[in-house]
Structures are given as C-alpha cells and as structure tokens.
Structure 1
Amino acid sequence: MNGIVWLIIVCEIAFWIAIIAGLVTRYLWKKEKAGLVLLAMTPVIDLILLILAGFDLYRGAEATAAHGIAAIYIGSSIAFGKSMIAWADQRFQYYILKQQESKPQKRYGYEYAKYYAKGWLRHILAFVIGAGLLAATIFIIGDTERTEALTGIIRVWALALGIDTLATISYFLWPRKQKNVR
C-alpha cells in the first residue's frame, strides 16, 4: 500500500476516534465544551488529508484511485459529517446511556422516502465537493495520463449517484412498508 492509502486509513480511524472521544467526554465525563471541541476536530482531520494528498500530487506522484478516494472521503465527510455525528450521538445516548427517549426511530412509507431523499441531497453535495476537488486537481496537474485514475473515480461516483437517484425515486413510487410483527 502506498502512503496515501495509509493516510486515508489513519484519517478515517482518527475521525471515529474524535467522535467517540467527543461523545464519551460529553456524556460520561460531563464536559460538554471539551466534547464539542473533540467533535469539531473532524473537519480538521479532513483538511489535513486534503493538504497531504495535494502535496503528494504536487511532488509529482501519479494520481491513483487512493487520491480519488481521498476526495470522496473529504466530500462525504463535509456533506455527511454533521448527520453522522448526530447518528452516533443518538445511538450513544440510547445504547450506552440507556436513555429511552433517544431510541432510534424506524421510518416507513413517505416518511422514510423523505428521510432517504435528504441523504440523497447530501450525496449530491458530497459529489459536487469531491468531484470538484478531483476536477480542480486534474486541471492543476494538466496531464491527462497522470490523472486518468481521477477521471475514472468521477465516472464511477457519477454512476453510484445515478443508482442512488433511482433508489430515492423508488422509495416515493413504492414506499417502504412496515413488516408485519405478530
């Protein structure tokens, strides 16, 4: 594995450590501000990844799928970061602190379709950010042979976004039904 792959792995681990440490500090140690600071470190981790991946390319490295994944990671973290933290926060309160009022809600029908559509909108935002970073990198490097992998990442991600679009539409056409529990 090359250095950028390890960097992505380290940043992903650091992202979740920051979230878990923030939640533990906030709820178990009752240090609300310190917990918020730890949770706020997640965008800093993204910025570090962006700078180091850019520096790697600037030094002359050939763009690889790992560089493309770094852009996906950054776009997704920005678009989904707040909702991922809220998701983790709710589950921490329910499963660890045993707060019944924080029980994760199951959604069905049009409520689920609208909820899924919000995630789809975040996916569009992630794509715009990530593909924008990739397009800017391709433009700055100015060598299509060195950046071929990045162009491929944009195509695959666009296909994934198209599939997500179809899934989103399907939930409005065929709403998710609650399973019969006897």
Structure 2
Amino acid sequence: MADDGGCGQIRIPPVGRDMKILVSTAGRHGATHSLGQEMGRVFEHCGVDVDVRAPESVVRVDGYDALVIGSAVYSDRWVPAAKALVDRVSRSEHPPVWLFSCGPLHSSDRPVNVTSDAAHAVSLMHATAHRTFPGKLVPERLSAGERQIFENSGAVAGDFRDWVLVCNWAREILAWLNAEKRGS
C-alpha cells in the first residue's frame, strides 16, 4: 500500500479541496476496508477531501461529489450493511456512484462473475461502474462455520489483493470526476 497515493500508473492532476468523496465499505475480516482505505489515500494524495466510513454510520450523502461503496462477497452475496446502504441512498438524490466487490478469492486472470447483489446495486444506484477485486483470506481469522465453508469450497487461502489495480481504479474515478468538473 502506497503511502504517497502514487501506486498507480495513471497521472491525475490535483482535483482540489472543493471535491469531497465518501468511501464506505462493508466486510468481516478487514480486506474490503483496506481496499477502501487505499482508495481514500489516492484521493487525498490528489487533493480530494475524503471520508472513509462504515455503511452503518452513513446517514446522508448530500455534500459529497461522489460515492464509492464496496462490499466483501460471501457465498456470492454482498454483506447486509452494504446492501442496506445502497437501499437507503438509492431512495434520494445522490452524487455519482462507483461500486466494488472484494472477492471471491483467486489469483488468476479469469473474469469474476458479478454477484446478483452487485448487479442489483448497480441498477438501483445507476452506478457509473462496478469493479470486482480479488480479496484476502486468513483461515485463522474465520469462525468455525466460515472455516468449514472455506474447506469445502476448494478455495485457496492467501492475499490476492492487487494494490496497483485498486489504485489505478481510484485514479480512473478521479479522471472521470475531473472531466465532469471541466465540462460543467
């Protein structure tokens, strides 16, 4: 994780402090939150005011210029807190939205199917984009039930997060926001 927000190859001019982005993530073991934190660092490095918050603490989204909502994926489903946030936000006017899913675990380049929850969220929020990122799994952090599911799934434990991919996506979001800002 880059401490300077410069882990990607896309160069973005500073957006300025008049831009504010909410990054909200839901998960169980920290991998999804770490992706959101890294995106927040990229945004801050480019001069954006960023709030990284849990979905349960988000009451209003007015005042933000963009929302980035991420959820861990368990058994092909989003975490309930992320689904609840999407439901709450979709009922009112909101800024442009980017969604991401963390998981399933894999280290291959094969495409990952978008979960039904993510597809529903994209439709409900009229999201600008959805991206699926590989996750991280440490068996020792799992509950007994989760460990049993993991052992029966054939999945491989490990850290498959791709920080360059995550940072480049954050920079793509900023490029889109910059283009919109210049066009208005």
TM-score between the two structures when normalised by the length of structure 2? 0.28
Based on CA coordinates, which of the two structures has the bigger radius of gyration? 1
TM-score between the two structures when normalised by the length of structure 1? 0.28
> Which structure has more helix as a fraction of its residues?
1
